Structure 1
Amino acid sequence: MLYAKGLENVVVAETTISAIDGEQGTLLYRGYQAEELAKSADFEDVAYLLLNGQRPTEAEKDDFSTALKTMRPLPDDLKKLLAALPKDLSMMDALRTLISSYTGKEGWPPQQQEAMRLVAIVPTIVAAWANRSCGKDAIEPDPSLNHVANYLYMLTGEKPHAAHIRALSAYLILTAEHGMNASTFAARVIASTEADLRSAICGALGALKGRLHGGAPTGVLELFSDIQTADTSSETLLREKLERGERLMGFGHRVYKTTDPRANALREVLKSLNNQETFLSEAVAIEQLATQLLAEYKPGRQLHANVEYYAAAIMEALRLKPDWFTPTFCVSRVVGWCSHVIEQSQDNRIMRPQQQYCGPKPD
């Protein structure tokens, strides 16, 4: 029986949601280039596309956006639960707890309306917990703002700048979906048992909490900080890390053998942020140096910048706290998770892989 550690190169599902070409460095959403969508579309356009299989007309987009706005506010029971949770609980744990408690009409198969409720409520939960962690009251959603602008508003209490909205929109569009990653696979496995949508999303949140999946942007910031505070040159510091066998966070990807197309798009987005020219040039210089050194120390591995490298740079430019990075990722990826759960339900078979026993045998 074939054994593939980590299920590498094992196909576990057919999908019409997204396609990744790791050799060419491309990412498609329902046949559209994700990079191009990040430049020209709003988050609502892409959420509709992923959930429905086609881009919306203007009327469909208006209806979809209006529906999301009506679903944003936290119900009173969730507000009470949020206030009762331990203050030292991590934001990911709080998000998972609140999602698991978000009741509604659910069953099998999951319905579009359930997915929209989760897409709408996740930003509100994240922002409410962020404010509670800072000793502040939650900020109610503003129905005059679109999905991304409203999220930034709920985090800060201030109407965001257009450049900041555009930058975060691009990031959220580019991270809304990415194939059979660990959290998406977890969601589909749970959905294959005919569990409800909330259970599948909570499983995905649990998978995303791990440092190897959802924690990478924080590691990139630590890398930036090490370089900025080092007494030696950037090259010397990076060489020392590689010689100690440390991983350079923000570089390398299980799928892409060239620069992550999402990183290319976010590099361009970073240029649009005001007063970020120096930071951008530093980030680009570090990327080029690290890529050269990785080719030297790990020849043949083809380790290039991934989405988390420039995501960290954008999060820093927007002054989002590191604890908010992974939950902000959830604000977008919940769209992909829901899309996969719905797709799984349409042609379901319970996931049941085999294992290869390598323990002791009886005499």
Structure 2
Amino acid sequence: MDKDDNGLEGVVAAHTVLSEVDGAAGRLVLRGHAVEDIAGRWRYEDVLALLWQDFFAPLPAASDLAQALGRARAEVATLLRADDRDVLADLPPVEAMRALLARLPDGDDLPTALRLVAAPVVFTAAVLRGKAGEAPVMPDAAAPHAADFLRMVSGRPATQAQAAALDAYLVTVADHGLNASTFAARVVASTGAGLASAVLAGLSALKGPLHGGAPGPVLDMLDAIGSADAAARWLEAALDRGERLMGFGHRIYRVRDPRADALKKALRELARVGGVEAGRVALAEAVERAALASLQARKPGRVLETNVEFYTALLLEAVGLPREAFTAVFAAGRVGGWVAHAREQVQRGRLIRPQSVYVGPAAEASPAGTSLPVR
């Protein structure tokens, strides 16, 4: 059956042990663990140990892997140069981070993988500080990964609640089936190019607005609405203009995105300890209720539920990360999954080489002794 006009939807391109995405049931499972059961309880380092098992030999225990990741952050920081601020100042954070990431050499071993996971947080933090006219903050190799990221951005230690909230986000987005960026990483890995090349391919796909670029506009929408009592009126007017409501609907999920609930829970926990304004959370929940009601009334034949982007935006804002950096932060979580898929592809797969169907003009016949026109 020809699927090429549907973005390969329904085509099986890999068999994986890493994650199961069940859109009909609203379920995301990472190697036997439902995402809502581990988000908020596990650190990102724990998920790396889960996803990477069997792909690196030997793979340290989660605690030792966390220490190795800390050392990798320190190693990556040595790649920063004095003139980076001037060279990268005009680039969006994700593009600046991509340029810096290209400094890492290719390889397929565990040290390479750890440096690739360390790089997005080290480079994103340095880029953000550079844009603010401040010098980079060097990593603390002994600190947990999420906490160190926030410290490198702000220049001060993160609270335990902030670090836990960011960990919940990184865990939630670590892997999600064969999405566009993961597929891109697997295609490059299948050529034998190496982990750095595969991760750069994944990052390049992620920065596209149809994949990783939507959380920031959620905050733009909330800012424009302003108050809970204005939500329904604003949303109805946006739908009248044919605009998409950011943070609602998903290509795969036909029910509520399970990651949205995991992040909503993490945001509420952050609000409980004073890490986010209660009014901001109340506004978001009012907008969510009004949006779901409007979408159900206008499009009763479609399921357009809250997706991961909606509460991602609120959570990342609450821990002090600017909205223009949200795609780069997404990459900081998804990179662990890209590495795992790249290793799985090399170990268990072969060169990915699908076929295409030619629909162009037929070959032009040329009389003997003549040449085709130059076009």
Scaled by the length of structure 1, the TM-score of the pair is: 0.92
Query: 1:361 deviation in Å?
Result: 3.9
CA separation of 1:336/1:208 partners in 2, compared to 1, >3 Å: closer, same or farther? same
Q: CA deviation at 1:362?
A: 5.9
Structure 2 match to 1:28: 29
Asked whether 1:3 is paired with 2:23, we answer no
Q: CA deviation at 1:81?
A: 6.5
Q: Any idea what the Cα deviations from partners look like across 1:215-260, whole Å, max 9, x if unmatched? A: 1101211111221189x93212211211222111100011111111
2:287 paired residue number? 286
Moved over 4 A (4+): none
Secondary structure of the residue that 1:137 maps to in structure 2? coil
| 8 Å CA contact 2:40, 2:167 repeated in 1 | no
SS of residue in 2 equivalent to 1:19 = strand
Structure 2 counterpart of 1:233, from 230, 234, 251:
230
Cα distance in 1 for partners of 2:62, 2:31 equals 17
Give yes or no for contact 1:111–1:342 (8 Å, CA) kept in 2: no
* Deviation at residue 78 of structure 1 after TM alignment: 3.7
Q: Deviations over 1:50-99 (max 9, x none)?
A: 11169xxxx81221111111111235444357346231022222221221
2:243 alignment counterpart: 246
Q: Distance in 2 between matches of 1:75 and 1:174?
A: 26
Give the match for residue 154 of structure 2.
156
Report the AA paired with residue 81 of structure 2: K
1:47 positional shift: 1.3
Q: Is the aligned partner of 1:272 residue 2:274?
A: no
Secondary structure at 2:290 match in 1: helix
- The amino acid that maps onto 1:267 is K
In the alignment, what sits opposite 1:262? 259
Give distance in 2, aligned partners of 1:75 and 1:222: 33
SS at match of 2:20: strand
Identity %: 41
CA distance in 2, matches of 1:84, 1:222: 29
CA distance in structure 1 between the aligned counterparts of 2:269 and 2:195, rounded to whole angstroms? 37
Q: Is the 8 A contact 1:78 1:102 kept in 2?
A: no
User: RMSD between aligned alpha carbons?
Assistant: 2.0
Q: What corresponds to 1:343 in structure 2?
A: 344
Distance 1:229 1:195, change over 3 A: same
- Does 2:53 correspond to 1:88? no
What amino acid is the match of 1:178? H
**CA offsets 1:21-44 (integer angstroms, 9 cap, x no match):** 111111111111111111321111
Please list the CA deviations of residues 127-172 of structure 1 after superposition, one character each: whole Å capped at 9, or x if unmatched.
1111111110000112332111000000001111111111111011
Q: 1:174 corresponds to which residue?
A: 172
Number of paired residues?
354
Q: What is the alpha-carbon distance in structure 2 between the residues aligned to residue 287 and residue 83 of structure 1?
A: 39
Gaps of 5+ in 1: none
Runs (5+) with no aligned partner, structure 2: 365-375
> Which residue does 2:38 correspond to in 1?
37
TM-score (norm 2): 0.89
**Contact 1:20–1:27 at 8 Å: present in 2 too?**
yes
Q: Report the counterpart of residue 369 of structure 2 in structure 1.
A: none
What is the alpha-carbon distance in structure 1 between the residues aligned to residue 78 and residue 146 of structure 2? 23
Q: Is the 8 A contact 2:186 2:342 kept in 1?
A: yes
**Aligned residue for 1:200?**
198
> In the alignment, which residue of structure 2 is the partner of 1:136?
134
Q: Deviations over 1:182-226 (max 9, x none)?
A: 111111111111111111111111111111111110121111122
Mapped partners of 1:81, 1:183: distance in 2: 30
Question: For 1:72, what is the secondary structure of its paired residue?
Answer: helix
**Residues 261-312 of structure 1 deviation map (CA, whole Å, 9 limit, x = unaligned):** 1100111111112153222222112111111111121222101010110000
Partner SS for 2:208: coil
User: Do the aligned residues in 1 keep the contact of 2:296 with 2:303 (CA within 8 Å)?
Assistant: yes
Classify the secondary structure of the residue corresponding to 2:7: helix
Cα distance in 1, alignment partners of residues 124 and 12 from structure 2:
33
